[in-house]
Amino acid sequence: MSTSWFDRLIGRPKKSPEAKVPLPPHRPPSTNTVANILDVRLEQAASLKQLRMYDQALRVMNMARGITLESMQADPKDPMAWLNIGRVQLADEQFDEAKKVLKHAAGLAQESGNKQVAGFIDAALFQVLRHQPNASQRTFDLSKPLTEEAYQAYRSQSLGEMFYVCQSCGRLNLMVGEHCAHCRFAPQNLRDIQLSFALSANQFKTATLVQIAQKIQMGQKPHEFINSLDDIMARFDTDQGVLEKIRNNAEDDYLDFKALDRCPACKKTIWVSSADVCPHCQAKLNRTMLLKLAICVDRLLQQFIWNLKRRDTKEYAQLIILLVNLKYQLVRVQQAPTDAQRHSATELLLKTNAFFAGNGGGVVFVHSPTSVVSQVLDPTVHKDIGATMDFIRDEMQHFLRLISDSVSLF
């Protein structure tokens, strides 16, 4: 049983049966070293499983289990040690156990004030949540004060579909209770929170939210173009938990997206996410693959907001939500897409196949993961229609390449 597994670990760590893996006669490596070893080993085990080489995968996983338990026993108060164990359990698809262990790690990280590890633990918990079946989406009861626990429960229920439009800059974000990576906005009072919830998947369909995003980016205020917005906001009564969370996260060190957008030398915006050299001043950019993917996802989302035709289909909604999730992972926690995310992103692009411009002037076809083609249908709609469709084609091509298995993001 999962509970006894966890209790055994806590209660009698040195004698737990899982620890019977032969221990090497040396000091256990530091938990940071173990984390680095896991980066390689878990990847390796996943590849072996894909190749159906289960015996070899099992050996690698046993080794990973052994080394994580050993380092936890050496220092049971180290949150990183527990995070490592949680990661192994995640790879083993032991989601309930992983959740308990990661919660324990989160408690230790909070006690020791280790914000960096707390961020990693959040990322791992995020993965656990993603693997849990989607509860049917229901409006959260905000009539009572929201505790941290209720907030987490809310997040776990709605992560699959939930996202919102930043009321200040109009970008699409995943979490209401965090600072926007584009404009740093975070709700400061109850009214702000109510508006954030109102401009979310709680309230509107994806295509409508994308339209709202464009209007806000054009400089309009939500109250100017949404009917009875005050009535909608009033449905979200109170929310002390989110405000508290925002205050606690006031100085968290997320990436500021504006800094990523620009050339560090000449400070001009570089639109093409695959660029290695600044097109304005020829400075070398040294962008990691993960960073390129983050920029690429942002470019695609902006194209969906500004130039591509909005649709009222399930695939369209899934694609937007997936991109918003990827952006959150890449920008907030610097985490690569999971296999499942890579798979469904490719599948959704292929299924949609034809992405039409909102003005009808052009189309981008995704024929295969390696073949994306742009075409102008009506050159009279706008003088830049050809360049725009080519840009979308290139970004989709780049996106498909980066999320394919052939590119290592680390």
What lies within 8 Å, CB to CB, of 20 at 6+ separation is none
Q: Does 263 bind Zn ion (CB under 5 A)?
A: yes
SS (H, E, C) 328-371: HHHHHCCCCCCHHHHHHHHHHHHHHCEEEECCCCEEEEEEECCE
Q: Least CB distance from residue 113 to Zn ion, whole Å?
A: 28
DSSP 142-160: -SSPPPHHHHHHHHHHHTT
Give 9 or 181: the residue with its C-beta nearer to Zn ion: 181
Among 166, 226, 242, 349, binds Zn ion (CB under 5 A): 166
Tokens at 202, concatenated: 């709680």
Give 182 or 299: the residue with its C-beta nearer to Zn ion: 182
Q: Least CB distance from residue 231 to Zn ion, whole Å?
A: 24
CA dist., res. 32 & res. 215, Å (int): 46
Give the 3-state secondary structure of residue 277.
Answer: strand
Is residue 326 within 8 A of residue 352, CB to CB? The reply is: no
Cα 72–chain centre separation: 28
Angle between helical axes of 95-112 and 79-91 (0-180°, round to 10): 160
2-10, 165-173, 321-329, 360-368 -> range binding Zn ion (CB under 5 A) = 165-173
Q: Does 51 bind Zn ion (CB under 5 A)?
A: no
Q: How many residues bind Zn ion (CB under 5 A)?
A: 14
Mask for 115-154, x = binds Zn ion (CB under 5 A): ----------------------------------------
Among 182, 299, 311, 327, binds Zn ion (CB under 5 A): 182
Residue 9 sits at φ, ψ, to 5 deg, of -60, -45
Is residue 44 within 8 A of residue 85, CB to CB? The reply is: no
Q: Does 259 bind Zn ion (CB under 5 A)?
A: no
Among 169, 207, 272, 322, binds Zn ion (CB under 5 A): 169
Q: Does 389 bind Zn ion (CB under 5 A)?
A: no
20-28, 143-151, 185-193, 350-358 -> range binding Zn ion (CB under 5 A) = 185-193
Q: Does 351 bind Zn ion (CB under 5 A)?
A: no
CA dist., res. 197 & res. 12, Å (int): 45
Among 74, 183, 260, 272, binds Zn ion (CB under 5 A): 183
Q: Least CB distance from residue 30 to Zn ion, whole Å?
A: 38
Tokens at 238, concatenated: 């109170």
Q: Does 409 bind Zn ion (CB under 5 A)?
A: no
CA dist., res. 194 & res. 50, Å (int): 45
What lies within 8 Å, CB to CB, of 90 at 6+ separation is 98, 124, 127, 128, 131
Give 98 or 166: the residue with its C-beta nearer to Zn ion: 166
Q: Are strands 164-165 and 172-173 parallel, antiparallel or unpaired?
A: antiparallel
Give 199 or 366: the residue with its C-beta nearer to Zn ion: 199
Q: Least CB distance from residue 281 to Zn ion, whole Å?
A: 3
Give 271 or 356: the residue with its C-beta nearer to Zn ion: 271
Report the 10 Å Cβ neighbour count for 113.
8
The tokens 């009917």 sit on which residue? Answer: 227
Q: Does 168 bind Zn ion (CB under 5 A)?
A: yes
Give 104 or 171: the residue with its C-beta nearer to Zn ion: 171
The tokens 């776990």 sit on which residue? Answer: 156
Q: Least CB distance from residue 382 to Zn ion, whole Å?
A: 27
Give 226 or 366: the residue with its C-beta nearer to Zn ion: 226
CA dist., res. 207 & res. 313, Å (int): 9
Mask for 269-288, x = binds Zn ion (CB under 5 A): ---------x-xx-x-----
Give 23 or 266: the residue with its C-beta nearer to Zn ion: 266
Burial class (CB in 10 A: 0-12, 13-18, 19+), 234: exposed
Q: Least CB distance from residue 178 to Zn ion, whole Å?
A: 11
Q: Does 185 bind Zn ion (CB under 5 A)?
A: yes
- Contacts with Zn ion, residue ranges (CB under 5 A): 166, 168-169, 180, 182-183, 185, 263, 265-266, 278, 280-281, 283
